[in-house]
Chain A
Amino acid sequence: MDYEVCRKVWDSQIAAQITIQNRDEILPFYTMLPRFSYFSVVLQDILQFFTSRDNELNLDGEKIWLESKGVPLKMYIPIGVIFDLNNEVEGDTWHIVIKTSNAPSGYRTINRETMEQIYLQNLKEADFLKRKAETIQNMQIDEHRMLWDSICNNHFDDFWGINKKLMDTSDKMFDSIPLRVYERNRPAFKQTLLNPRNDSGELVTVGHAICQLLAISEILPTSTLISHGIRIPAETPLIYAAKNLTYPDNFVHICVLKND
Chain B
Amino acid sequence: MEPSSSYRLDILNQLDAREQQQKPIQTMFRHYATMAEQVKRNKKMQSVSGADQIAALKEEVATVYRMKNKNDQDLINSNRKFADLESKYAQMQSQKEQADKLAEKLAENIERLENDMVQLKDDNNVVTVERVALANACQELSEKKTQLEMERVQLIDKIRELQEKRAEFMNAEIALQEERAQKLLMEQIAKAAQDISYDERASSAFGNSPETSDEFMMTDVIPNTQKFRISAHDGDVNDIEWFTEDTFATAGNDNKVRIWSLTPNKSGATKIASLIGSNGSVTRLDYEPERRVCLAASNDKTCRLWNVDSQRLLATFSGHTDKVSSARLHQTHNVVSGSSDRTIKLWDVASLRCLKTCMVGSIVYDIIAKCGGCHSSFASGHFDKKLRFWDSRQNDPTKILELDQKITSLDIAIDGSHLLASCRDDTLHVIDIRTYFTVHTYSAENYRTACDNNRAIFSSTGDYIASGAANGSIFIWNTKTTRLEKVLRAPRAPDGNSILSLSWNQSGRGLLACDKQKTCSLWR
Contacts and interface: CB of A to CB of B under 8 A. Distances in A.
Interface of A: 2, 4-5, 8-9, 11-13, 15, 29-32, 49, 52-53, 90-91, 93, 228-233, 235-237, 240, 245
A15 B25 contact: yes
Interface in B10-45: 10-12, 14-16, 18-19, 21-22, 25-26, 28-29, 32-33, 36, 39-40
A233 B7 contact: yes
B3 interface: yes
Contacts of A2: 1-2, 8
Contacts of B8: 2, 5, 236, 240
B11 A5 contact: yes
A230 B22 contact: no
Contacts of A230: 11, 14-15, 18
B6 interface: yes
Given A2-B1, A29-B36, A31-B29, 16 more contacts: A2-B8, A5-B11, A8-B15, A11-B19, A12-B18, A13-B26, A32-B22, A90-B21, A229-B18, A232-B7, A233-B10, A235-B6, A236-B7, A240-B3, A240-B7, A245-B11
A5 B29 contact: no
Contact of B12 (A4, A12, A13, A231): A4
The 5 closest A-B pairs by CB, nearest first: A230-B14, A233-B7, A236-B7, A8-B15, A15-B25
B22 A13 contact: yes
B36 A49 contact: yes
Contacts of A32: 22, 25-26, 29
B7 A15 contact: no
A194 to B, nearest CB: 18
Contacts of B16: 8
A236 B11 contact: yes
Interface residues of B, number: 26
Contacts of B3: 240
A22 B164 CA distance: 174
Contact of A233 (B11, B15, B22, B32): B11
Contact of A231 (B2, B14, B33): B14
Contacts of A8: 12, 15-16, 19
The residue among B3, B12, B19, B25 with the most chain A CB atoms within 10 A of its own CB is B25
A55 to B, nearest CB: 9
Contacts of B18: 12, 90, 229-230
B51 to A, nearest CB: 14
A61 B74 CA distance: 61
A93 B24 CA distance: 12
B67 to A, nearest CB: 37
Nearest to B17: A230
A31 B7 contact: no
A117 B107 CA distance: 119
B316 to A, nearest CB: 143
Contacts of A49: 36
Contacts, number: 68
Given A30-B32, A32-B29, A91 B11 contact: no
A15 B26 contact: yes
A161 B476 CA distance: 188
Contacts of A31: 29, 33
A84 B331 CA distance: 184
Contacts of B14: 230-231
Contacts of B5: 235
A232 B14 CA distance: 9
A4 B19 CA distance: 13
6 contacts: A8-B19, A12-B15, A30-B32, A31-B33, A233-B10, A236-B7
Nearest to B32: A30
Nearest to A231: B14
Contacts of B33: 30-31
Contact of A235 (B7, B15, B19, B40): B7
A91 B1 CA distance: 32
Contacts of A4: 12
Nearest to A229: B18
A80 to B, nearest CB: 12
A225 to B, nearest CB: 11
The residue among A30, A229, A231 with the most chain B CB atoms within 10 A of its own CB is A30
A77 to B, nearest CB: 20
A84 to B, nearest CB: 12
A236 B11 CA distance: 9
The residue among B3, B18, B33 with the most chain A CB atoms within 10 A of its own CB is B18
The residue among B10, B16, B21 with the most chain A CB atoms within 10 A of its own CB is B10
A19 to B, nearest CB: 14
A205 to B, nearest CB: 9
B36 A53 contact: yes
Contacts of B12: 4-5, 8
Contacts of B39: 53
A91 B36 contact: no
A32 B12 CA distance: 21
A233 B13 CA distance: 12
A251 B345 CA distance: 168
Interface string B185-200: 0000000000000000
A6 to B, nearest CB: 11
A91 B29 contact: no
Nearest to A14: B22
The residue among A29, A230, A232, A240 with the most chain B CB atoms within 10 A of its own CB is A230
Contacts of B11: 5, 230, 232-233, 236, 245
The residue among B1, B6, B29 with the most chain A CB atoms within 10 A of its own CB is B29
A239 B5 CA distance: 14
Contact of B22 (A5, A15, A228, A231): A15
Contacts of A93: 25
The residue among B16, B26, B36, B39 with the most chain A CB atoms within 10 A of its own CB is B36
B40 A52 contact: yes
